[in-house]
Amino acid sequence: MDKICILIDSGNSRIKARAFWLNHPEAEKNLDKAIINEITIYNQEYAKLVGFVERITRDGNIAKVYGVTVATENIRTDLENVFRSFDLEKSKDFNQKEPIVWLESEEKAFSIKNLYENTKQLGVDRWFGIIGAHYHLTHHLKVDSNVALIHVSFGTATTVDCMHNEQLIGGTILPGLQMMFDSLFRGTAHLPKVAVSASDIVNFPLTTHAAIQTGVVCAQAGAVFRQIQKLWFLTTQVPYVFISGGAKETIVDEINSICSHWSTAAGLAQVECIELETTVLDGLQYYVSNKG
């Protein structure tokens, strides 16, 4: 039976899992071709993960389970228990001692270097996110691997990570979209609780709802634009911008709008913003497929 690898990306709000064929002939270069299935669940929806793994075991034998987590120790243990319940170690194909091999940020993966002062302090989702974005740059866009790129994740927190010459040169962390809305509601007497609504994003807001929606979206987009500008000043290249995370839909238009105003005013090439669904899983799959 063919061998399967399961990948886990455990974030602060959600868990994403993917199964792929380990020995697919094109597994190293074209990740999509080897993917069997994937699932996104909220933390604690473990029954759905159990169902996903059960369905996968009908297709082949699970040989590896790799994961990254930035969530709590409890969630990490719960996830390990989910995989322990399948008795995977009884199969001769399963060649790891732990139910999940948790990966960490490293100083180097392939030709990509991590310049964070303390390597392991860099969120492991950010590390595999940048590896995933670099995979898309070189394998899908087929662009020179040294060009400037940014990976943005609009998750529970927002992160904006910059890369040049295959080096992760640094990045920023800010509260995510929902966290910004929640903090305004919690920290003031008169501001309402708002839910995301794209139609409230206008140039000059004249209602409280629109003022909050627009303010928060501009803060998110502005944080991304500032890193685009800085990377351009450093490298004189207009960077490729890869955007992922649950809140991206709401913010991407504002980023495109700022970038287009800037490119036109400064006479620069347009910034290319590329939306990706599961950059961390892509980075993980590329890593596992190519590192063996």
Ligand X SMILES: Nc1ncnc2c1ncn2[C@@H]1O[C@H](COP(=O)(O)OP(=O)(O)OP(=O)(O)O)[C@@H](O)[C@H]1O
Ligand Y SMILES: CC(C)(CO)[C@@H](O)C(=O)NCCC(=O)O
Could you tell me which residues are annotated as the binding site for ATP? 9-16, 156
Residue 125 bears catalytic tag: yes
Q: How many residues bind ligand X (CB under 6 A)?
A: 17
CA–CA separation, 247 vs 252, rounded Å?
A: 9
Q: Which of 78, 125, 161, 182 is catalytic?
A: 125
The CB-of-227 to ligand Y minimum distance in angstroms stands at 15
**Which one of ligand X, ligand Y, none interacts with residue 249, CB within 5 to 8 A by kind?**
ligand X
**In the complex with ligand Y, which residue's Cβ is closer, 50 or 219?**
219
The answer to the question of residue 69 lying near ligand Y (CB under 6 A) is: no
Q: Do the Cβ atoms of 10 and 79 come closer than 8 Å?
A: yes
The CB-of-88 to ligand X minimum distance in angstroms stands at 25
Is the C-alpha dihedral spanning 223, 225, 226, 232 positive or negative?
Answer: positive
The answer to the question of residue 157 lying near ligand X (CB under 6 A) is: yes
The answer to the question of residue 223 lying near ligand Y (CB under 6 A) is: no
**In the complex with ligand Y, which residue's Cβ is closer, 20 or 123?**
123
One residue of 9, 125, 161, 254 binding ligand Y per CB under 6 A: 125
The residue whose Cβ lies closest to ligand Y is 123
The catalytic residues are 125
List residues binding ligand X (CB under 6 A): 11-14, 125, 155-157, 176-178, 196, 245-247, 249-250
List residues binding ligand Y (CB under 6 A): 11-12, 70, 121-123, 125-126, 155, 157, 159, 173
